[in-house]
Amino acid sequence: MRLITNKLALLLVLVVSCIAKETAQKTFSSKSRSEEENIFEQNTNSELLWAPYRSNCYFGIRPRYIDETPFIFGLMWFDTTEFDAMTRLRHFVSDDDHMERFTWEAYDPRLGGKENIIDPENNLNLTIYFAKTHDDSNWVVRVSGKPLDTARNTTTSVVMYMNQNIGPDMQNGQSRLIHISNTDNNENENSLEFTGMSEDLGKYEVLINDNHGKYYTNDTLESIEVVPGCNASRTSHVGLTIPDHEVWRARDVFQSLLTDSIKDIVQVTGEKVEPGLVPSILTLRNLHNFDQGNFHYVQKTFDMREETGFEFDIVYNNLDSKETIDSGKQATLLIDDALHEVNVRFDNHFNIDETDGDKRKFAMEVLANLLGGIGYFHGTQVIDRETVLDEDQFESIKFEHFREEGPYSLFTSVPSRGFFPRGFYWDEGFHLLQIMEYDFDLAFQIAFSWFRLIDEDGWVAREVILGPEARSKVPQEFTIQSPQIANPPTLLLALSEMLTKLIENENNMAFVAGNKMDIEEEEGITSQLGSNFDYIIKYSKIIYPYLERHFKWFTETQKGLIEEYMEDMEDDEKFAKVNQNFVYKWLGRTVTHCLPSGLDDYPRAQPPDVAELNVDTLAWVGTMSRSMKDIAHILELTKDETKYAEIEKKIVENLDLLHRSEKAKTYCDVTLDDEGDEEMKYVCHEGYISLLPFALKLMPRDSPKLIDILTLMSDPDKLFSPFGLRSLSKQDEHYGEGENYWRGKIWLNINYLCLNALEYYFPEVLTGSHEKSALNDKHTSELAGKLYTELRNNLINNVYGNWEKTNYIYENYDPTDGHGTGSVQFAGWTALIVNILRG
């Protein structure tokens, strides 16, 4: 049975038990580790070993944490009835492919799932199933395709490729992948069998078997074998050797080999080719007489003139497993079981009323696509540790002193498989706010993977782009990372949210020293993980230094200059109370952009000044302080808890003392007035930056300024819209101008934080009772309740409505008519709509 837990009290256990894979082995002997810990690690590593972790591919499999000799699998396809077919060869997810749909309908990396792709240009409705055996050692991929229109007389040529990486020690390595035969007892020439050996994975076999489907034929021709080996009526196989670091170029290599074959055919047969032979001409053959290596292409070309289409299975069996998959019927049972269990798990966590339209299907697909974007990346990172930012010019910096460092590994979800298939520090905390509601263990496996990237100085890259495959999807100017550039520390936001709940429930938690926790059991799922408070304490001490270093790095590199204001502001009574050591700015902003803030083109002070201080940087440091305070509390580090509590207190004070404009009644950046006597002036652009002190729960619960925040959010002429809160006030001079990325568009991440903050400050909004509460007067409570209800409904209706019309969720939404904009299938923080829908 698969191990799942979702108790809040397990939070730190989940994080640190992951860390035990490396760090704890150095700190504690195996004899000192509890039986429960060993069970947890073994189950987690097994359950999460195999999945479609190649997020950038429409479908691609690799194992997690197998870095030297992984087995790699990928899928491509195209319609081969026309000579220009290779321009429609699908492999990496791309918005330019104009897919009508590419969607995980149900998915859990522990279990498996179902992905549906509708490709109009290739006349294909493709469904891919993935399921694992209960011991998690073996898996099956079922590829099922049907034509969208049988009258178009198309084919579907599916190209599979697989490689057993040799590893860096190519001389002594024993890893191999060998094609045994094309037959199953000489009965089916289209069934293939491979045997493999990996130093990390052991011995295994790969079987490829058809379930049904008609291969391409043409009754008007005597033969469709245009030259020996080029015959679309049977499965084609070519084995060769490709260096491990070039396997990701499988599409390019395939196109190159096929081009060579076509040129040879033209020389042999002449340029005039019978149209009925085109599918055979576009069938790969071993033209160059390659010796069989570890890399293999398998190509199947099906006639799509019948509605039944085709279906075949790819089975991976570890030969040491007792649960090998040996038949199509057995594969069907595994797939059905996995899909059933995914549905049960979803309903256990998200009880969504199906009577309200098709909201359950919508929510399940959105969550599935977030989970389906989880990838495992391994490789080098390009870093420039020498170039110093010129803070006076505010021009774009050219990082020219870079080098590759690593290799590193990252287990992460991605914002968008088609446009952003890599790790984003800014996005990941929001992803975890969603994932942890479904699977705590999984969420903190991901969190740990990020924590372990924190270097000795405390820095972690804002974009983690590991290896050439990940870099191939990134514009060159964004591949180089600088240790001077920060990003909003949303991982600590997620950690802070969970620690806050843990502390609030501390007296009610079902554990005491020496006693195991009660672990929730779900249908078909039993957890074997138990723990006690001492266990949590022990491993919390392991994670704590990572976070300390990161806090120190962030607050030192992003520290602002207060000295510039001192002379002209010394007589200002309010300014005199400012905590001068706790002021911050984003290092690395330019005249037009502040990429470190995550709110790229959100309007800032013009012209920029070295003395600029940013309210959002300060607010994020407040979140970090709160998180550090909470974990210090868990560890009973009283001195540290007091230290971070004092920092948090000073930051909260500075939000009002330094960044609150009483005239504008909002929070603003500040800078020097270059037109007057260089006194401090507020730079007020009402929008998401103004809301962050509220959204991050840094305002006191009894603050009289809460009413100003509610008024701003509720104003339809400023932030409130029928589709969600605008990122910038409709009345701002920069609204909708320029790049128009964070200048009015509606983003789910900040909208989610605002809804969550409304629940925090006005808990009565969840009960519907708006009588005078302990914290707020009746008028304020009623305003909060109305805002909460309308904002929640607007967000749900708009994201759901776009999905109904287009099959997709989007990066952001237009504030005028609500249509989706930016990257399609942006199942990153937009997936927070599932949390919002559940309420």
Length of the chain: 839
User: Taking Cα atoms as reference points, which of 446, 325, 408, 356 lies closest to residue 828?
Assistant: 446
| Residue found by looking up tokens 């409130």 in the block | 720
- Cα(697)–Cα(644) distance, rounded to whole angstroms? 16
Angle of helix 706-714 versus helix 688-695 axis, rounded to 10? 130
Residue pointed to by tokens 């199947």: 300
Q: Is the peptide bond before 70 cis (omega within 30 degrees of 0)?
A: no
Q: For residue 128, which phi and psi values (nearest 5 degrees)? A: -120, 125
Token match 């069996």: residue?
317
Active-site residues: which are they?
A: 600, 811
d(CA 537, CA 290): 58
Whose tokens are 């940087």? That residue is 617
Taken in order 250, 253, 255, 257, is the CA torsion positive or negative?
Answer: negative
Q: Which two tokens stand for residue 558?
A: 């992003």
Coil/strand/helix, residue 229: coil
Whether the CB-CB separation of 179 and 239 falls below 8 Å is answered with yes
Whether residue 407 is preceded by a cis peptide bond, meaning omega within 30 degrees of 0, is: yes
- The three-state (H, E, C) secondary structure of 419-437, written as one string: CECCEEHHHHHHHHHHHHH
In contact, 238 and 212? CB cutoff 8 Å: no
Cβ(506)–Cβ(9) under 8 Å? no
How far is residue 489 CA from its own chain's centroid? 16
Contacts of 642 (CB under 8 A, 6+ apart): none
- Amino acid symbol at 600: D
